[in-house]
Structure 1
Amino acid sequence: MTRVDFHSQVADKIHYCCRLIRKARAANCQIMVLSENLEQATLLNDALWDFSAVDFLPHVMIDDPLASQTPIVIATQIDSALPHHDLLINLSQMLPTTFAQFNRVIEVVSQQEDDANAARQRFRLYQQQGIKPSHIVASA
């Protein structure tokens, strides 16, 4: 069964996501990131290039021909044809319909009220699927 963790009160979703990705890559995870929109996906793409001078975080957008060979894939929507299934980091306000294909899902929730409300709804939807999500309040 998929493990689901909610990380709430995140001040900067892009920076926080970069930190999660670096940690997951250190554990050799293959990662999918679901962004809210193309703008957010582009911001994350740019941030991953500049995040760390010592960590190389190889990544591509989902439509790149090398997506299946690249450990970090960024998407604005996901379907059943996914290149990776270890970890899904959800930056969007929607419940990924393919979440059960992943070993783990991390829901990143900002300090904004609309994002928190959408996360509460997703939390309940996961529970309705028989999953007991954990909740972590993010540290700076």
Structure 2
Amino acid sequence: MATDDVQFRIRLNPSLKRKLEGIAAAEGRSLNAEIARRLESSISDFRYTKKEEWVEQLSSLGMWIQETDTQIERLANILTDIAVDKEQSELLKPLIITKMASLQRDRERLFEESLHIKSKINNTVD
């Protein structure tokens, strides 16, 4: 241990500790060295996301939500149009409804993501 290193106690789930011990042994490192290497790696790879990037992502999500709404509306119009032809309606209606449900799930996921990003924007320092 280098003279400027500090000791730090940590609690680990026994299963996680066993996994780390196995990896450390396979890599020829001590458990401490393996944990320190992993922490250093995660920190060096970490990058703060700037507020402008969150705003850009939110804008993109907004466009995806609008496009999804447009597709749902088009499918609703098709359902109305094919209602006059019973045979065509019986064939296409289940497919269109399934697609609309899928699009609605996508829209809900996009909306949830936009709420998450809005909270990031509100909690990000300029």
Structure 1 length-normalised TM: 0.19
Q: Is the radius of gyration larger for structure 1 or structure 2?
A: 2
**Greater share of strand residues, 1 or 2?**
1
Structure ranking higher on relative contact order (CA contacts 8 Å, 6+ apart): 1
TM-score (structure 2 length as normaliser): 0.21
